Amino acid sequence: MLSLLDIAERTQKGPKINENAWNMGLFRKMNELTEKYQLHYPKDNPVFNCDDNLADRAFQAAVDFLVETGIYCISTGRIIQLTRNEVLNTIKGMPKQVTIGEGKDARVLKQRRLEEKEELNHCPGHHAPFTEELAPLVVKNFAEIPTADYIEGINFPVVDGREIFGLPMEVYAGKREATWMRQGVAKAGRPGMAIAYYPINTRAAVMLAPINREVGLRPSDGILLSVLPDVKVEQDYLTTAIVWEEYGGFKLNGNGAGYVGGFCGGLGGAIIEAIVAILTGWIVYRDIASWGGIFSSSAYASSKEIPVNSTDVWASSVWAQALHRHTNYIIFMATGSHSGPGCENQLLELAYRAISIPINGTNVYISRQFRARMNASQSPLEQEWLYEVAAAVMHSDVNRQSAGDLVMKIGEKLRGKVIEAPYHDIREFYDLAQHRPLPDYEKVYLKVKEEISALGLNFD
């Protein structure tokens, strides 16, 4: 298996190419592989992929990409080249399950099987910005969710009353984030719960700063080290990966995704890129799990209507199936919403995405609003709702066929609806002291639950 030092060396010695040339080269290669492996959306318009052979071909395309094109290091402008043997051998080393956290709060993250009823792994929050005075209480609320296996950190602009600006202050803030997370999980009665550090920023010194066995991140904790779009990596992340590897912490890829309309091209290219991103995260950073899926870039450009796109659902299922059939990888489904918390649209959006989770053999990841706002991107309720729906799908004997119908029905409810974000602060719709939604929000939740239940999901 390739070592991280081998990778580091190749970032310094690989062939040079400028970034624009890499991007266009990637586009051409993705197109070529899409054609070679015939990765097109089937004529019968399925919602979930039922063609195992297509999933296999998608995986082969991803391996070909790595072998024939490589991975780009933006810090040095060089390509990390890999042989087929190296790629396949390194992939074999992926763990099927990883223990995180410690003591009674230790949990096992594992690869789940497609369409199966095994327990879901769950990361409820945050990856979102909260102000420092709210931090430990917010963390406590999310850590109190009983199904939570680990929790991700928060971002904030001010620490100890000072603007976080400049490396020294960022390092300090990084340490403080870890301390608040630690306090929050302890207050929730889960002191050993694994914390995954969410970078204040991506400088290596800032990502290493929170390492502290007593009050910061422990070897049973983790960190987010993401592959960048367009199959790119970078040295601050790699430095952090090398140190964390030795320290014993786990690493997570926050971008096992493909973006239709980006440099990867169309749907086929996005599928390939999403698989490649997962493999790259493991090869270059030893990320043991990832969230991911396929998204349409145009959907992110929009700020008016909620985009509903079943081809993305199909493509995400191809991605997940390819990884399940050929690797041990642990995947979390990319979930989240365009609408903000506290409203019906958002809960519907989350329900729409939640269907895919168990069908694709994935786990439950953070449900926050895509365009995160300070103190207003998420509350525990949406996260509990996301989990509820995914669990209900498992308990309702839904398979790929019937799941497709469900997705279409919920999609119809969302079509034409406007993106809304009615609240500006979590305290307007959620009671952090009592760990429950305020009455108005609870009403909305119950209404949406009834609607979804009427589609055939068993919430009992």
67 binds other proteins (CB under 8 A): no
Q: How many residues bind other proteins (CB under 8 A)?
A: 41
Gap between the Cα atoms of 414 and 192, Å rounded: 40
The answer to whether the CB of 104 falls within 8 A of the CB of 149 is: no
Alpha-carbon torsion angle 382, 386, 389, 395, nearest 10: -130
Residue 447 corresponds to which amino acid? K
Q: Quote the least distance from Cβ 207 to other proteins, whole Å.
A: 8
Task: Kindly indicate which of the ranges 234-242, 342-350, 400-408, 426-434 contains the residues binding other proteins, using the contact rule CB under 8 A.
Answer: 234-242
30 phi, psi to nearest 5 deg: -60, -40
Gap between the Cα atoms of 241 and 223, Å rounded: 9
Are β-strands 97-100 and 107-110 bridged in parallel, bridged antiparallel, or unpaired? antiparallel
226 binds other proteins (CB under 8 A): no
Q: Quote the least distance from Cβ 390 to other proteins, whole Å.
A: 37
Residue number, 56 or 86, with CB nearest to other proteins: 86
298 binds other proteins (CB under 8 A): no
Tell me the torsion sign for CA atoms 67, 69, 73, 76.
Answer: positive
Are β-strands 232-233 and 194-197 bridged in parallel, bridged antiparallel, or unpaired? unpaired
159 phi, psi to nearest 5 deg: -135, 130
Task: Kindly indicate which of the ranges 115-123, 208-216, 255-263, 452-460 contains the residues binding other proteins, using the contact rule CB under 8 A.
Answer: 208-216
203 binds other proteins (CB under 8 A): yes
Rg, the chain, Cα only: 21
Residue selected from 247, 311, 370, 435 as contacting other proteins according to rule CB under 8 A: 247
Site string for other proteins, 169-188 (x = CB under 8 A): xxxx--x-------------
Task: Kindly indicate which of the ranges 109-117, 205-213, 362-370, 425-433 contains the residues binding other proteins, using the contact rule CB under 8 A.
Answer: 205-213
The residue with tokens 């990765």 is: 39
Q: Quote the least distance from Cβ 208 to other proteins, whole Å.
A: 5
Q: Quote the least distance from Cβ 134 to other proteins, whole Å.
A: 21
27 binds other proteins (CB under 8 A): no
235 binds other proteins (CB under 8 A): yes
165 binds other proteins (CB under 8 A): yes
205 binds other proteins (CB under 8 A): yes
Tell me the CA end-to-end span of the chain in Å, nearest whole number. 46
Task: Kindly indicate which of the ranges 61-69, 92-100, 202-210, 407-415 contains the residues binding other proteins, using the contact rule CB under 8 A.
Answer: 202-210
- The CB-based long-range contact list for 401-407 (8 Å cut-off, 24+ gap) reads 401/48, 401/50, 402/456, 403/47, 403/48, 403/355, 403/356, 403/359, 404/46, 404/47, 404/48, 404/310, 405/47, 406/355, 406/455, 406/456, 406/457, 407/47, 407/48, 407/310, 407/313, 407/352, 407/355, 407/356
160 binds other proteins (CB under 8 A): yes
Gap between the Cα atoms of 336 and 349, Å rounded: 8
Residue selected from 162, 415, 443, 447 as contacting other proteins according to rule CB under 8 A: 162
Q: Quote the least distance from Cβ 239 to other proteins, whole Å.
A: 4
Task: Kindly indicate which of the ranges 96-104, 139-147, 243-251, 373-381 contains the residues binding other proteins, using the contact rule CB under 8 A.
Answer: 243-251
Residue number, 8 or 366, with CB nearest to other proteins: 8
> Which residues, 112 to 141, sit near other proteins by CB under 8 A?
none
238 binds other proteins (CB under 8 A): yes
Q: Would you call 352 helix, strand, or coil by DSSP?
A: helix
What is the 3 state secondary structure string of 192-252? CCEEEECCCCCCHHHHHCCECCCCCECCCCEEECCCECCCEECHHHHHHHHHHHHHCCEEE
Task: Kindly indicate which of the ranges 6-14, 187-195, 252-260, 429-437 contains the residues binding other proteins, using the contact rule CB under 8 A.
Answer: 6-14
Residues that bind other proteins (CB under 8 A): 4-5, 7-9, 11-12, 16, 75-76, 160, 162-163, 165-172, 175, 203-205, 207-209, 211-213, 235-236, 238-243, 246-247
